[in-house]
Amino acid sequence: MKRRSIALLILASLVLAQISCGSRAVNSENTSDSASGTTIEETTDDGKIKDDLPDKDFGGKEFPILTTSWYNARNYIYADTQNGDVMNDALYDSISTVEGRFGVDITITDDEEQDVVAKTLHNLVMSGDDTYKLYYGHDLLTVQNALNGDFLDIKSLPNINFDKPWWRGTSDNFTIGGKLYFTGNCLSLSGIFMNYVLAVNKKLADNYSVEIPYDKVTAGEWYIDDLSALIKDFPNDLDGDGKMTESDMYGLVTSYFGHIGLQSDLGGTMVTKDANGNLQVVDNTSHIVGVLEKVEELMSHGSDKFGASNEFGQIVFVENKSLFMFGEMRTLYTQVRPKDIVYGILPFPKYDSNQKEYRSAGCDIYWGIPKTASADADMIGTVVEALCCKNYNDVVPKVWELVLGRKLADSDEDTAMFEVIRSAEFVDLGFAFSGQSSKLTDLVFMTQNTKSDQVASYIEKRRDAVIAKIDEINTTIAELE
């Protein structure tokens, strides 16, 4: 494919890319985890980090990607034409640059829904079909594909340098027993859009003389009790009908899937990794009781009842009827930004002063390398590394600008908040593997499914089954080739 290049991004935006794709791995049993270290990388003259790949020419060989029509997944990883959309054209340039540099032809197939394409991938692998070089699918279903033995260990691929910043964070987290069969990183942009953030309506904040706590965040002193205090007076039955509906005022709105973030960001995780890098179920009950108490107080001033389970109450937020919305950045981009709502971004607050770092949980669309593509490992490792590097340097900074709906440089405070959020991004390991056990799903959504005075017994009834499942998963991964 012949494509024209887009202009290089300004040097300052590269700092944002470093934070976005270099997010930390969360592997703690409480809220006192610390961030992964940051390494200074060798850069080009324009400040971009190099991939250090040797010159190669694969003679026009095809690099087909298989993905799903679910969530418009292809738009996060691929573009085959320019259409004037900033994200699309940046991806287009990234792909065309890598194609020209290494003599490959990157294509994509996205004809099937998430469950169907996951079965298609498994059947292709079982039949020995080596058509596809990369698979990009629904998060929980991709984990199942991995456990079915459908993927290569990404750690085994040549030409990949796992010390590069685009491999930090999620890839560290998903490395189990030293093996990495699925991940999410700068190869795609879904992790940015599916991360949970706290959006604040600046018009309401101004109207009600609410000071947005940028200074507290920067000082590391933004706590869940502060958020509850800010919103406690906001609930208001505006229409006077004696019922709180979407026509009334709230302090905070979210939805069912927002509870993953509420619980995880406050340290309510049940699955971490042990010293050997294997999954383990931790005894975190006493802290989780406190987490549920804090969330119950918070939600007494808000609602998770409006809109679909993945819409995070945006139908209320865009009508200027909630001070805060806790949801995916995707919702800000697709639902809030077109409404011309003036909003800012904050990390979700810490549990208390014992929590050393902010946490920013989210979801993603994971990718893996079909096991049947092993004969093309040299090409696959080269293309994947080159795309990750190109996206890291040139695509991610532009996407950041889209999420806020204006240039990040136009709002210094919100730029600083994005830096905090991106450095704290992670996927909760319990959620990543929750598709393997309904009991584990129960423990991921405790703030939704139980109450603080019942949670200890709620956990106890499920603990043994979850431990058995986690042990089974560790054994399965250890036995994979």
pLDDT of residue 407: 60
What is the DSSP code (8-state) at residue 271? E
Q: pLDDT tens for residues 130-169?
A: 999 999 999 999 999 999 999 999 999 999 999 999 998 8
- Res 16 pLDDT > 70: no
CA-CA distance, 348 to 351, in Å (whole number)?
9
pLDDT of residue 95: 98
Task: Give Cα 353 distance to the centre of its chain.
Answer: 25
State the distance between the two ends of the chain, measured CA to CA, in whole angstroms: 36
CA-CA distance, 442 to 466, in Å (whole number)?
10
Q: Is the pTM here over 0.85, yes or no? A: yes
Please, are residues 440 and 469 in contact by the beta-carbon 8 Å criterion?
A: yes
Residue 305 CA: distances (Å) to CA of 60, 157, 337, 451: 52, 46, 22, 17
- Res 287 pLDDT > 60: yes
Instruction: Enumerate the H helices of 370-445 as residue ranges.
Output: 377-390, 396-404, 412-423, 429-432, 438-444
pLDDT band at 47 (very low <50, low <70, confident <90, very high): confident
pLDDT band at 37 (very low <50, low <70, confident <90, very high): very low
Closest CA to 61 of 373, 394, 392: 373
- Res 7 pLDDT > 80: no
**Residue 45: other Cβ atoms inside 10 A:** 5
Q: Which two tokens stand for residue 1?
A: 């494919």
pLDDT of residue 26: 57
Phi/psi at 439 (5° precision): -70, -35
pLDDT band at 286 (very low <50, low <70, confident <90, very high): very high
Non-local (6+) Cβ contacts of 147 within 8 A are: 436, 473, 476, 477
Q: Which burial class, exposed, middle or buried, applies to 315 when counting CB atoms under 10 A from its CB (0-12, 13-18, 19+)?
A: middle
Please name the amino acid found at residue 262: L
Residue 375 CA: distances (Å) to CA of 131, 139, 370, 372: 11, 26, 11, 8
CA-CA distance, 170 to 187, in Å (whole number)?
12
Segments of 160-242 assigned E as strands: 196-201
- Res 111 pLDDT > 60: yes
Phi/psi at 283 (5° precision): -90, 95
Three-state DSSP class for residue 14: helix
pLDDT of residue 247: 87
pLDDT of residue 44: 67
Residue 171 CA: distances (Å) to CA of 44, 298, 368, 432: 25, 32, 11, 12
Non-local (6+) Cβ contacts of 72 within 8 A are: none
Q: Mean pLDDT throughout 49-65?
A: 97
